[in-house]
Amino acid sequence: MGGSKVLPEVTCGARMPRKLLWSSMLEKPENKEARRDIDLRMPRDSFHQNPRITYPRLPSEWRTCAPQPHFIQPRIVEQPDPARLEKQCIYRKKLEKAKAKATKKKSDFSLLKFVKLAKIKPKEIYMWEEQLKLERLKVLIKYLASPVELEQLYAAQALGQLGIAEESVLSALHNTLQECNSMALQYEAARSLALLGCLETSVVKVLLRHLKAVSLNRREDTLAALKISLQAWSRMAPFERFPIAGQSCLIRNLERLVKLQDPLDEISFDAALCLGYLDETSPVAQEAMLMCLTQKDWKKKNQALVILIKHMAILDAVIIQSVLHQLQHSPVCKHRVDSAKLLTTIGIEPIQQEGMEEKVFDVLLWKLSEEPFLVRLKHLQSQF
């Protein structure tokens, strides 16, 4: 009973036999009605017996011939050793060159390569601008001889603000100061001469007269002009400084202003600054500057430190600590740069004498990594 099923051999080009249906084995009558009755009595497959067809169809169902097997010819492939592979790698040389360059950069590390110096481009002055400036000076000098006092006041004030110390300008202002009878015009001419660096006897007398005035605005205006003039005078070399007329009288009046006003007042501070520029050994100016170091005004602190270090040469532990405090905590980047420059002015010897060398080094090292502006790092690097 048991036997083995023998599958028929499929030759090339032959098709698979179709599935036999019951309807093909029955004889179908020619009458349509009889054929319909036979179809109705004919058993049909249920839903589960219907073959399920999936798409896409398999290749064996629509292929007309059996495919030939693909023969792969065995062959020997030469595998290079690691040493040979390293030599043949075209990117290996580039990687080694980049690595050597990075090592060389690390060995030759210099902070100045990474500091972007803010180079301010000088403003170009064209010929027509020079001609306009000269023409404007001529017009302003002509206005000094005008019969209208307002025009004279405007011309005297504008000549001081332009800052051109030519001989024609100085002589015109000096003649106006000597010849006019108006107090306001005399003051404007004297103030402009002071701004241009001319501190003669007549100029100092007019300025002292207005320093004693009751008006606070006039005192502040006079001290502002004196501060600019005396600051420029103090920056000159000692052998280049011209003598200031009535210097002792000017010092006495400035000391009186410092003592009369509140030490933290604007007028008192400006008077102390002028006194420090004029007399480097003044104890009144020194006391006022030391008092300003204890306040919260960063601008006044910076100006006081410049006077104490550069002009009065006071290099004790209190001054060094104040410079470090400003370098660490000042919100103004210009003040932090000035503090670094002041440390350069102080030098290493006074810092070693006060025993603050390690503290200064730690602050500079911390600030070097904490400072947000790369432009400032050059000034900090110069301290090491």
Instruction: Give the start-to-end residue ranges of the domains of the chain.
Output: 128-198, 314-384
The Cα–Cα gap between 162 and 157 comes to: 9
Give the pair of three-digit tokens for residue 72. 């792969």
pLDDT, greater one: 212 or 187: 187
Residue-averaged pLDDT of the chain: 76
Cβ-contact 172, 214 below 8 angstroms: no
| 315 in Cβ contact with 309 (< 8 Å) | yes
For residues 139 and 202, what is the distance between their CA atoms, to the nearest angstrom?
Answer: 25
Q: Give the separation between CA 19 and CA 182, rounded to whole angstroms.
A: 133
Whether pLDDT at 116 is above 50: no
Whose CA is closest to 309, among 232, 328, 318?
318
Reported residue count of the chain is: 384
CB 160 within 8 A of CB 191: yes
Q: Is the pLDDT of residue 147 over 60?
A: yes
Kindly state which CATH superfamily the domain 128-198 is placed in.
Answer: Leucine-rich Repeat Variant (1.25.10.10)
Nearest CA to 212 out of 243, 248, 250 is that of: 250
**Cβ neighbourhood burial of 12 (10 Å; 0-12, 13-18, 19+):** exposed
Provide the percentage of residues in the chain whose pLDDT is more than 90. Answer: 4
pLDDT class for 180, splitting at 50, 70, 90?
confident
Q: Which residue did the predictor score with more confidence, 79 or 381?
A: 79
The per-residue pLDDT for range 278-287, each reduced to its tens digit, is: 888 889 988 9
What per-residue confidence (pLDDT) applies to 47?
52
3-state secondary structure 8-43: CCCCCCCCCCCCCCHHHHCCCCCCHHHHHHHHHHCC
Query: For 285, phi and psi rounded to 5 degrees?
Result: -65, -40
**What is the DSSP annotation of 331-378?**
S-HHHHHHHHHHHHHH-HHHHHHTT-HHHHHHHHHHHHHH-S-GGGHH
Report for 56-70, 120-134, 284-298: range of highest mean pLDDT: 284-298
Tell me how far apart the alpha carbons of residues 210 and 206 are, in angstroms, rounded to a whole number. 7
Closest CA to 243 of 201, 188, 272: 201
> Across 199-271, where does the E strand assignment appear?
none
- Tell me the Ramachandran region of residue 3: left when phi exceeds 0, alpha when psi lies from -120 to 50, beta otherwise: beta
pLDDT band at residue 137, thresholds of 50, 70 and 90?
confident
If you average pLDDT over residues 193-219, what whole number do you get?
Answer: 85
Q: Are 156 and 189 contacting, i.e. CB atoms less than 8 angstroms apart?
A: yes
Tell me how far apart the alpha carbons of residues 178 and 174 are, in angstroms, rounded to a whole number. Answer: 6
The pTM for the full model equals 0.60
Q: Rounded distance, CA 285 to CA 367, Å?
A: 32
Cα–Cα distance measured from residue 103 to residue 105, given in angstroms and rounded to the nearest whole number: 5
pLDDT tens for each residue of 290-337: 888 888 888 889 999 999 998 888 888 899 999 999 988 888 888 888
Is the pLDDT confidence value at 219 over 60? yes
By mean pLDDT, which of 35-39, 79-83, 215-219 is the weakest? 79-83
Band of pLDDT at residue 118, cut at 50, 70 and 90: very low
Which pLDDT score is estimated for 362? 87
